[in-house]
Structure 1
Amino acid sequence: MVAKAKAADRSARKIELIRPVLAPSNFSPNSEQQAVIDSINSSGSKAARLIVFGGAGTGKTSTLVESVAPQIKSGLDPNSILVLSFGRERASELRDQIVIQSGASAFEPIVRTFHSLAFSIINTQVDPEDPKYVLISGAEQDSFIRELLANPEHSPEVNWPKVLEPALSTKGFARELRDLILRASERNFTYKKLTEKGKLLNEPWWEPAAKFWKIYDEVLAIRYGFISGTAKRIDSSSIISQGIFDLTNKPKVREAFQNKFKLIIVDEFQESDNSQRELLNLLASDQVILFADPQSAIGQFRGADPEGVRAFADANGYRQLFLTTSMRTPDAITDLGNAISSKFRNPVETVGSKAESGKVDVAKLASQSDCANYIAHAFRSAHLREGIPWSEMAVILRSPGAGISAISRAFALNNIPIQIASDALALGENPAIKPILTIAQIALGKIKLVPANWDLIEEILFSEFGGADALSLRQMRIDLGKLRESGDAAKSSTQVILEILDHNDAPLPWEQLLSLKRVADVIAEARKVVRMNNKGGAQVDIADLIWAIWNSAKNYDGDQLANVWRNRALKGGVRGASADRDLDAVITLFESARRFAERMPGSNPQLFLDQLLSESIQSDAIAARGQRGDVVNVMTVHSAKGLEWDLVAITGLQEGIWPNLRQRGSLLGSERLVESERSQLTARREIEASAANALIEDERRLLNVAVSRAKKALVVTAYSKEDDSEPSQYFEEIYEFVHGHSSIDAENFDLPRALTPQALVSTLRRDLESQDLAKREFAARLLKTLAANEIASAKSENWLGALALSSEEPVLPPDAQVSVSPSNLQSFSECGLKWFIERSGGRDGDSTAQLLGVAIHSLAAMLKSEPGLTYEDLVNRLENGWELIDGNKGWVRDYQFKKALEKLEKFYKWHAENKSQRTLFAVEAEFEKVIGRALFNGSVDRVEIDQEGRVYIVDLKTGASDISKAKSEEHKQLAGYQLAVYEEAFSGDSPGNQSAGAELLFLGNDSKSASAKPQLPKDHEIIKAEVIAAADAMSANQFTATVNERCRMCAVKAICPIQPHGRTVIDK
């Protein structure tokens, strides 16, 4: 359905959901198609068994629809017609086409899948004791198999070999085991037959797999029989075999279905497997018509047997007809398709029928990103210059992955709206869904708000549920860090943030912590729902919990996220397409939760979340989805089957990716089971060789499907990158077919300028600097025209460097007091610009190194109040507080803790050795003194008194690199500390006003002991003058960037005008 906005006032508008208009097709059959239609609609035995072969685009499906309509119009009951198709969505589309063409209605769906048919067979109750079945989804099956493997005590008789035990807990092994069970079940195997087949083929692991399969079925029946009452659970792999069993062993069921269907038509028959074909034979209808294209099969990974189609037809007496004229592709694309299919074992050529010749564009580029941008340029060009709608374009890949990400980025930069197939990710991995699942687990207590889970919390904050970004989170850390400096220094900013989320209470105004407030409110609402259910002693309904989270989520304006996404989806465009996908995912989540609650009433909601998060494939939930508007479809070749577009791009033709010739399921050997059944071979080497040959043809079939989706034009790309990836043999074939020579020696294609207003403006601005007067004048006129048409980037007032400085006033008035500390004095002397940027908020939040520095300083200070502390005491205190310092886990945490112990040990040894030379007077000693316009203030790590009664300052450095003794003599921070001594600026008891000097104590160096770098007593008046001068410079209107040895590690070099990273684009 599509959403249609009514009423001018957006705040009061209503949304009416209307079904898209479905119009009858204007199909006009050619002579071959008419011959098929006549054969199906003629009377007599010659039409009883018929198979129609036709390549992609030859009109097989259209011919099928045109064949059914006359049957209904001539009086055949629509309920006696059965059309079988290869997928649920395809079946729905085909059903609509037949209803529109015939105008008929039926009590049951005319078009079904094989699994839908089998499900209706096994749920047919001719006796009261016949069971009812409930389908378990593929994702549920995957999760259940992993659960059984993780608890071997449930299946001790399986006795997995020792060599396999490390693999039992992996997702990959569970996936292979499930695949073996699927393939065996599809071929109507029993547990005993799989064991015997394993012995015949020398597959020793099939015997324990067969035992596991038996236990899996038994436990499944017990578990879900208890939960669901009399309904039996059945997985998709067993539906067909159970249907065959019922038709074979229940005469009443077989008779009912044989009498019911007078005409059976199968579309895409090449996608069926042997068990589905056996099911078809058992129905034994008066008429069975098959449509097939063995060269376009895509379901081999599910067990499809395209190579057995002809043998099936011959064995069952099917008359053969052929469709050889393509109604879809122009000559250029048809010829390319024939070249690709010519390498099949039994190739069938197709001839073109369109007047236009079509276009095939093949380009080799330098990177995956370039490929994506090249396709974006081709699509935008076709849209602007040829008027092709976005909805008539598609990008096809072999499989999801980095290629889809590159396409998404390139299309977003070029303002091209896209729709990515939503089944590319398991539901639990969907970025739109993950925050909901995490918050639900927090509410249930499964995830604690502790630093160890910070990665999960950060994901929520950075999602639309929190709305934060790296900059805003850093600012919140800085603001909270300032509170920590004056309060509990033992808590990191991470710990403070987690406490705010936990208690929904903040030490700062919420206006400064908006993202935290939004997330805290959602968590509080979710916990409220859990508490309300727990009071009654019941488990919270997972659907209620998810709804509470979704309904309370808001954006920064306080609008419900549900309304924000809806409105965004209605607007269309790039962001609208993204909102569409997100809403589809949320609807699917609710449908999955509802289904869980119905099938497992009273179950712990955490079971649903665990199942969802462990899925490696998306559950097959039937949920409503938004009708897509004018967007480009991005999908895998498997999803593209049965579809067509004016312009299609094929990308990802890289070596090892397409074709992907890696053997599937190589550990348990499900592919060897399939190949052995297909070829009747028993020798391992022969089976593997046959499977490898079949795999080559499977990959070529996928390429044939992709190429044949284009109605007007085709774009094919690959990239050549040294030591990275090379184009595959498929790309080489296409390149040579189109260009007449190999791509090996061809240069990588240069990307054309993007067809966006921003790219055009950039080009015209460069032309303004041209030596050619005519070129400059043309650029100026066109920029003026663009600016007049509200292209913001064309307006000169928006250009960087075109505006004067917003202010030349000093940052502080001349009579204002300026805060100056010794550390600021040092930082300002090194680089005034860096000091100003960091002082203005341009610094990172608490890093592990910074928090460790605070901890070491705190532990060092304890030796003043508790002089009897041993090194072991300090280590224990550090270990107890380590969770607040470092949120890492595993070897990273161990390494960081080891480095911390090294620093602590260096300090303790230095402290013990220093006792006899100087007396510790104070730690963390604060001072403050007004000197000119400077408020000179700070704190000193250690104030010590030497044997002559003079004051000696020690500053601990836990992370900084060591410096030379010459540099320590000129160190401004140490000089500032000495000035505090001279001025007697310390609060509390005064240590005196005679300085014995100061030193930096480096604990983070590579030596085994601490490195002390002393500074001799400095001249009082010289330091005082430097502080007064620094106060004036710190309040000025200009700050100087200075190149020094710290530039390499500078945190703000990305915006420094004297660094390559930060130099402005208008600099000459």
Structure 2
Amino acid sequence: MITSSSDRTERRRTRTPDAYRLVRTGPERVDPPVLDAAQRAVVDHTGGPLLVLAGPGTGKTTTLVEAVTARVEAGADPARILILTFSRKAAVELRDRAALRLGGARAPQATTFHSFCYGLVRAHQDTDLFADPLRLLSGPEQDVMVRTLLEGQRRIRSIRWPDDLRAALTTRGFADEVRAVLARARELGLGPQALSSFADRIGRPDWKAAAAFLSEYLDVLDMQGTLDYAELLHRAVLLAERTPALASAYDAIFVDEYQDTDASQLRLLRALTGPGGTLVAFGDPDQSIYAFRGADINNVLDFGSAFPGARVKALTVGRRSGAALLAATRLLTTRMPVPRLPVEAVRAHRNLAPVREGGRVEVFTYPTAGAELDNIADVLRRAHLEDGVPWQDMAVLVRAGGRTLPAMRRALISAGVPVETDGADTPLRHEPAVSPLLTALRVSATAADPAPSGPGTDPHAEPAAADPALPPAPDTAHSDGPTPADAPAGTFPAAGSGPQVRADTVEPGAAPGPTPADAGGGPGAGLSGGAPDAVEPGSGRSPAVSTGPAAPAGGPAQAADPGGPDAVEPGSGQGPEAPTGSADAVGPGAGDPAGGDPDPDAVAAGPGPGPGPADPAGGEPDAAEPGQGAAPEGPADPAGGIGVEAALTLLASPLGGMDAADLRRLGRALRDEERAAGVKVPAPSDVLLARALAEPERLTAHDPAYARGAQRLGLLLRKARELLQGGGTAEEALWVLWDGTPWPQRLERSARRGGAAGRNADRDLDAVCALFDTAARAEERTGGRGALNFLEQLEAEDIAADTLTARATRSDAVRLMTAHRSKGLEWSLVVVAGVQEGLWPDLRRRGSLLEADRIGRDGLAEPLTPGALLAEERRLFYVAATRARDRLVVTAVKAPADDGDQPSRFLNELGVPPRDVTGRPRRPLAVAALVAELRATTVDPDASPALRDAAARRLARLAALTDDEDRPLVPAAHPQRWWGLYEPTRSSVPLRDRDRPVALSGSALEQLANTCSLQWFLGREVKADTPSTAAQGFGNVVHVLADEVASGRTPADLAVLMERLDSVWDALAFDAPWKSRQEKDNARAALERFLRWHTTDRGGRAAVATEHEFDVTLEAGEVAVRIRGSMDRVESDPQGRAYVVDFKTGKSAPTKDEVARHPQLAVYQLAVREGAVDEVFDGLRPASGGAELVQLRQGAAIREGGDAVPKVQAQEPLDGEWVGDLLATAAGRVLDERFAPAAGRHCDHCSFRSSCSVRPEGRQTVE
């Protein structure tokens, strides 16, 4: 029944006695933890600034939560307590733990710096001018914008970059350098004018150009209504400094990980705290490892100067590591000086008291990197199998992710260690599971909008909103904030018709807007935010700072946390790893085998017949189909909307689900369908596959066994196209493509089963979820710019996207990550790997091109000295070592040669002597290795019978193990899975019917009788030959042109022939352009030889037929043989005899003796004798006058005319019955199915060497 909305509303209001009602309940409060004296001293702190030195595992988070709880229980208003941290994950943890201690309704605000700043700026937007919320640029979006602007500046020269830098403007590295300058300038409060003046004083034209770039960049941000993270923090700092009421908005501010603050965050804290305000900062100078993104250890060291009257206390109990492990890691701190802090507090901070005994530290060195990887895998497997350490309670940490993680991951997985890799910096479009979905979306979107205009037209087009050719807004300026001496200040832009408002000063007489306290709801109420966990989407206008009315009630607690859970530098698009100058550096500022057709009749696009099977002598077809054929289709869009390459990619992807065999079978079926429809020369099979994908109804007549996947995919592409044509979004189209295939179910099953396949499925599912999340956010942010624009933006991103939520951590895998990403985590066993001198410490200069680190607030800053770099690298090593609770293993390579890899100096600072390990484990402690060893033992002749019997019994026990669903746990242990134990199977259906003639061709006769019958069987019967090659296409084109000249359809003129050749040449697939040019020259030479041969007298012979098909049956011994094929040219000599000519375009020619008994020529002569050419001799049976091979690619001997004419190899008229004997032998092998391999020269060009038992590379492991 259909009801009106009013009826439904009234029914909802009516409450029945038995109705369920959801009641929100707060979390149950937990008992307070037991605190030590040092923690209690921090909790009892009553007021004023306090720096708490909190080392790893000292209970820092517990102390912070208890300090907040004590204030609330003493009567403080939770809304006037602010907790700031750096990652969303930490903010959520602090919020949840405070809620458990206080009850959810009384929990204070816990948020990240950037989320707080977003709410602050939103709260002070002019609601009349900026109805839409600000949108924060992600790291990839900022990277694309910077590169787009740089490309535009390179073209129109709107900014005078130094000449020595202009060539680098479009490179990824230069964009990273520019982003670093932008972030550094805004971090220091410098605007375009201030930076330009600073550059003039210092004499740095590159910084002056960067200042002009900053101005243009900010103009674009304003026009788009967006902010990057550095600009967000900069504007929030200015607001806080110019809104005195904010200094009294909070009774207490707690800061977690204070050592990671930069200059802007320090200014923000000073503005929010005010003189004498309560600020409790938890930090550890020994864990300051983010200098590469602006973190300044001096913020900790100079805490007393920044906050007068500050006290310093230390947490003194180490709760994480055992005593021995704690002692080893504290040795590292003896080399870390901490000046300007009270000596007593530093001593207490360093001399931690352990709460338990135990802990183990081991240092190993290995002769090679391979030995190191194998032994690390052995350590992990032994810890899991012998010590019972869960996989998820172990981690492997490295210094440089891009350089080390891939090899480490491969080695561990191959050794049977489940691995979960953190910090993958792969752009979303490069994820294996995402790539086919994006290809399918592009195919659908292009078909839905075949002639797009605007940004979607060119994949390299610049986004309209960021077009560097657009003139900057004439009335827009940007705030510099506090500037160096004599640097002018600027203003924030106010787009629209409203007046601009100075950001560095408050106009005299201008009444400031309501403060957060005045807005109602306490000090946090006036800071508008949006959704608790997500940035409110929109494309607001220029984000000016206003002194007008504040936004509606809310607060930074409700503002989105723009940073990902581990993205300490929001906007970087990558994890917080220090750049190393290599591929793993973090950005600053935060013919297809499946597509070809191995059919002997397969052709390449050309003016006539396609290539047949490769000729043993030269790679040229033995029989081409007759007929002129149609002009070839050009490479552009041959499938009516789906490109060939895209079609083949999709069909072979999980969306299509077709393997190479399915593609070959469907391709042959489509070509057969074309021939049945009267098309003499069908298009190549890959083109037909693309057409069928665009017209899936054509596939209904084909066998579903191999056509089902293509038909399903074609219908999905059509459905997605129709959805987009009807106004659907990219997210909706992606869902249609994803949900319409069995792929999701396959991934789900694999994920549930676990193992290596399960982990791969987990990664694929994570990537697909990230794609849908990205599409949804793009739709919300841009208001539906279309699928092509979404693809354009995604494909322009070269760095990994930020995430709002962390990927779910697998419960059964070892964590593999960089040391930077490990901060804040802990495991029972930690392996710190690859600790090499030169890699760790990495003392190379960071950002050496534009030198962003030298931009200072009061003058030119000195770059980090080697000593400062070494200190930070040591702190990073200390962070990695202190992640372990029970066992720490440090590994390095110690090469025997003096100039080889050597261990880092840090290995000797742990107080444990390194142990040199010279070998590798005897075998991996993995089931697969155990099965292999047991199987080898069962057949080892040197093993005793008792040992072989014991090995067999253990194999039987392993083979009998099953899981809950009765699936074998170790299938490789069962003899049914072993190769070589069964006799080869024989088909129940004979290859040929003995009651019918055996069909053979000339080339088949050569293979069956003289070269290799197995090669014939695999190529002709199994149809497993490689797809058509460019060499076959070369021969095809030359054959067709020769046929056209001989038949009179084309004049014997080289210019005309080259014009015809040019029209089809691009359809041939060569490996490189130079190869195409070379082969085209060879084709011209071949045509020149052909014309000279064609126009000269050949003993009075005249052509009577070209491309003459024949099909005759004869008796060869006791077997009837049907020979068929096509003769390139049939001529009549003066005696009236038939003379057969076969053109060859191969690079090699048979010898004179081989020509005398050439099977293909002999078959032609035998066919003439059996009446194959009677029709072109007026029905008379001519005698055979012989046959010849004309080698068009090879010149004749000098005495026979030289290179200008082709080499001609003649075979005399048949003499004897040797041809019949060959036919009988070949037919007998086919009927008896005796296909034995035979070695010879033909092996050099055989496609089946890797599966041939006479070749070393093809022998089976059981032989």
Q: TM-score range by the shorter chain?
A: 0.7 to 0.9
User: Is the alpha carbon distance of 1:410 and 1:725 closer, same or farther for their aligned partners in structure 2, counting shifts above 3 Å?
Assistant: farther
Aligned residues of 1:960 and 1:1002 also touching (Cα < 8 A): no
Q: Give the aligned partner of residue 558 of structure 1.
A: none
Cα distance in 2 for partners of 1:50, 1:399 equals 36
Q: Give the aligned partner of residue 9 of structure 1.
A: none
Say which SS state the counterpart of residue 92 (structure 2) adopts.
helix
Q: Give the aligned partner of residue 319 of structure 1.
A: 311
Q: Give the aligned partner of residue 301 of structure 2.
A: 310
Q: Give the aligned partner of residue 1034 of structure 1.
A: 1230
Instruction: Identify the match of residue 794 of structure 1 among 968, 973, 980.
Output: 973
Q: Give the aligned partner of residue 764 of structure 2.
A: 582
Q: Which moved more, 1:505-514 or 1:300-309?
A: 505-514
User: Is the alpha carbon distance of 1:952 and 1:37 closer, same or farther for their aligned partners in structure 2, counting shifts above 3 Å?
Assistant: farther
User: Are residue 546 (structure 1) and residue 537 (structure 2) matched?
Assistant: no
Aligned residues of 1:928 and 1:935 also touching (Cα < 8 A): yes
Matches of residues 890-905 of structure 1 in structure 2 within 5 Å?
A: 892-905=1072-1085
Cα distance in 2 for partners of 1:361, 1:306 equals 30
User: Is the alpha carbon distance of 1:849 and 1:41 closer, same or farther for their aligned partners in structure 2, counting shifts above 3 Å?
Assistant: farther
Q: Give the aligned partner of residue 253 of structure 2.
A: 264
User: Is the alpha carbon distance of 1:788 and 1:216 closer, same or farther for their aligned partners in structure 2, counting shifts above 3 Å?
Assistant: closer
Say which SS state the counterpart of residue 1259 (structure 2) adopts.
coil
User: Is the alpha carbon distance of 1:714 and 1:871 closer, same or farther for their aligned partners in structure 2, counting shifts above 3 Å?
Assistant: farther
Instruction: Identify the match of residue 806 of structure 1 among 947, 961, 985.
Output: 985
Q: Give the aligned partner of residue 11 of structure 1.
A: none
Instruction: State the identity as a percent.
Output: 30
Cα distance in 2 for partners of 1:245, 1:277 equals 12
Aligned residues of 2:99 and 2:106 also touching (Cα < 8 A): no
Q: Give the aligned partner of residue 14 of structure 1.
A: none
User: Is the alpha carbon distance of 1:313 and 1:818 closer, same or farther for their aligned partners in structure 2, counting shifts above 3 Å?
Assistant: farther
How much has 1:1022 moved relative to structure 2?
1.0
Instruction: Identify the match of residue 756 of structure 1 among 906, 926, 929.
Output: 926
How much has 1:823 moved relative to structure 2?
0.9
Q: Give the aligned partner of residue 70 of structure 1.
A: 70
Matches of residues 526-675 of structure 1 in structure 2 within 5 Å?
A: 526-533=720-727, 540-552=728-740, 554-555=741-742, 561-622=743-804, 626=808, 628-653=810-835, 658-673=840-855
Cα distance in 2 for partners of 1:736, 1:944 equals 91
Cα distance in 2 for partners of 1:399, 1:435 equals 30
TM-score (norm 1): 0.86
Q: Give the aligned partner of residue 284 of structure 1.
A: 273
Cα distance in 2 for partners of 1:382, 1:874 equals 74
Instruction: Identify the match of residue 1187 of structure 2 among 979, 997, 1006.
Output: 997
User: Are residue 880 (structure 1) and residue 1054 (structure 2) matched?
Assistant: no
How much has 1:613 moved relative to structure 2?
1.0
Cα distance in 2 for partners of 1:723, 1:169 equals 42
Residue 281 of structure 2 aligns with an amino acid whose one-letter code is L
User: Are residue 39 (structure 1) and residue 42 (structure 2) matched?
Assistant: yes
How much has 1:310 moved relative to structure 2?
0.5
Q: Which moved more, 1:201-210 or 1:403-412?
A: 403-412
Q: Give the aligned partner of residue 524 of structure 1.
A: 718
User: Is the alpha carbon distance of 1:805 and 1:134 closer, same or farther for their aligned partners in structure 2, counting shifts above 3 Å?
Assistant: closer
Q: Give the aligned partner of residue 766 of structure 1.
A: 936
Aligned residues of 1:332 and 1:360 also touching (Cα < 8 A): no
- By relative contact order (CA 8 Å, sep 6+), the higher-ranking structure is 2
Say which SS state the counterpart of residue 983 (structure 2) adopts.
coil
Q: Give the aligned partner of residue 5 of structure 1.
A: none
How much has 1:277 moved relative to structure 2?
0.7
Cα distance in 1 for partners of 2:254, 2:823 equals 19
Q: Which deviations, in whole Å up to 9, do the C-alpha atoms of 1:990-1029 show, x marking residues without a partner?
A: 5933132322525289988754444444435210121121
Question: Quick check: which one's helix share is greater?
Answer: 1
Say which SS state the counterpart of residue 309 (structure 1) adopts.
helix
Matches of residues 721-736 of structure 1 in structure 2 within 5 Å?
A: 727=901, 729-730=903-904, 733-734=906-907
Instruction: Identify the match of residue 1106 of structure 2 among 893, 900, 923.
Output: 923
Aligned residues of 1:1003 and 1:1010 also touching (Cα < 8 A): yes
How much has 1:221 moved relative to structure 2?
1.4
Let me know the Cα RMSD of the aligned residues: 3.6
Cα distance in 2 for partners of 1:54, 1:1054 equals 63
Cα distance in 2 for partners of 1:848, 1:736 equals 63
How much has 1:278 moved relative to structure 2?
0.8
User: Is the alpha carbon distance of 1:615 and 1:58 closer, same or farther for their aligned partners in structure 2, counting shifts above 3 Å?
Assistant: same
Q: Which moved more, 1:630-639 or 1:524-533?
A: 630-639
User: Is the alpha carbon distance of 1:218 and 1:81 closer, same or farther for their aligned partners in structure 2, counting shifts above 3 Å?
Assistant: same
Q: Which moved more, 1:295-304 or 1:486-495?
A: 486-495
Aligned residues of 2:692 and 2:698 also touching (Cα < 8 A): yes
Q: Give the aligned partner of residue 981 of structure 1.
A: 1168
How much has 1:60 moved relative to structure 2?
2.4
Aligned residues of 2:396 and 2:830 also touching (Cα < 8 A): yes
Q: Give the aligned partner of residue 360 of structure 1.
A: 362
Say which SS state the counterpart of residue 321 (structure 2) adopts.
coil
Cα distance in 1 for partners of 2:321, 2:381 equals 22
User: Is the alpha carbon distance of 1:478 and 1:399 closer, same or farther for their aligned partners in structure 2, counting shifts above 3 Å?
Assistant: farther
How much has 1:923 moved relative to structure 2?
2.9
Q: Give the aligned partner of residue 50 of structure 1.
A: 50
Q: Which moved more, 1:398-407 or 1:515-524?
A: 398-407
Aligned residues of 2:843 and 2:870 also touching (Cα < 8 A): yes
TM-score (norm 2): 0.73
Q: Give the aligned partner of residue 466 of structure 1.
A: 656
How much has 1:579 moved relative to structure 2?
3.1
Say which SS state the counterpart of residue 189 (structure 1) adopts.
coil
Q: Give the aligned partner of residue 116 of structure 1.
A: 115
User: Is the alpha carbon distance of 1:27 and 1:419 closer, same or farther for their aligned partners in structure 2, counting shifts above 3 Å?
Assistant: farther
Instruction: Identify the match of residue 709 of structure 1 among 883, 894, 899.
Output: 883
User: Is the alpha carbon distance of 1:157 and 1:474 closer, same or farther for their aligned partners in structure 2, counting shifts above 3 Å?
Assistant: same
Aligned length: 1002
Cα distance in 2 for partners of 1:459, 1:397 equals 36
Residue 525 of structure 1 aligns with an amino acid whose one-letter code is K
Cα distance in 2 for partners of 1:619, 1:720 equals 37
Aligned residues of 1:374 and 1:751 also touching (Cα < 8 A): yes
User: Is the alpha carbon distance of 1:521 and 1:357 closer, same or farther for their aligned partners in structure 2, counting shifts above 3 Å?
Assistant: same
Which has the larger Rg? 2
Q: Which moved more, 1:778-787 or 1:399-408?
A: 399-408
How much has 1:509 moved relative to structure 2?
3.9
Q: Which deviations, in whole Å up to 9, do the C-alpha atoms of 1:107-154 show, x marking residues without a partner?
A: 7x6221111111121122397568553322222222122222222399
Structure 2: segments with no counterpart, 5+ residues: 1-23, 340-345, 447-456, 460-635, 962-967, 1197-1202
Q: Which moved more, 1:263-272 or 1:468-477?
A: 468-477
Matches of residues 307-386 of structure 1 in structure 2 within 5 Å?
A: 307-317=298-308, 318-323=310-315, 325-331=317-323, 333-338=325-330, 340-346=332-338, 349=350, 353-360=355-362, 362-364=364-366, 366-367=368-369, 371-386=372-387
How much has 1:1044 moved relative to structure 2?
1.3
Cα distance in 2 for partners of 1:926, 1:738 equals 87
Residue 65 of structure 1 aligns with an amino acid whose one-letter code is V
Q: Which deviations, in whole Å up to 9, do the C-alpha atoms of 1:584-633 show, x marking residues without a partner?
A: 33333233323322332252432222111111223334368556433333
Matches of residues 419-498 of structure 1 in structure 2 within 5 Å?
A: 419-421=420-422, 424-445=425-446, 449=637, 455-477=645-667, 480=670, 487=679, 489=681, 491-498=683-690
Cα distance in 2 for partners of 1:998, 1:725 equals 66
Cα distance in 2 for partners of 1:956, 1:22 equals 88
Instruction: Identify the match of residue 841 of structure 1 among 1023, 1032, 1053.
Output: 1023
How much has 1:179 moved relative to structure 2?
2.0
Structure 1: segments with no counterpart, 5+ residues: 1-18, 225-231, 534-539, 556-560
Cα distance in 1 for partners of 2:659, 2:895 equals 34
User: Is the alpha carbon distance of 1:1010 and 1:725 closer, same or farther for their aligned partners in structure 2, counting shifts above 3 Å?
Assistant: farther
Say which SS state the counterpart of residue 922 (structure 1) adopts.
strand
User: Is the alpha carbon distance of 1:599 and 1:375 closer, same or farther for their aligned partners in structure 2, counting shifts above 3 Å?
Assistant: same
How much has 1:458 moved relative to structure 2?
4.2
How much has 1:1033 moved relative to structure 2?
0.9
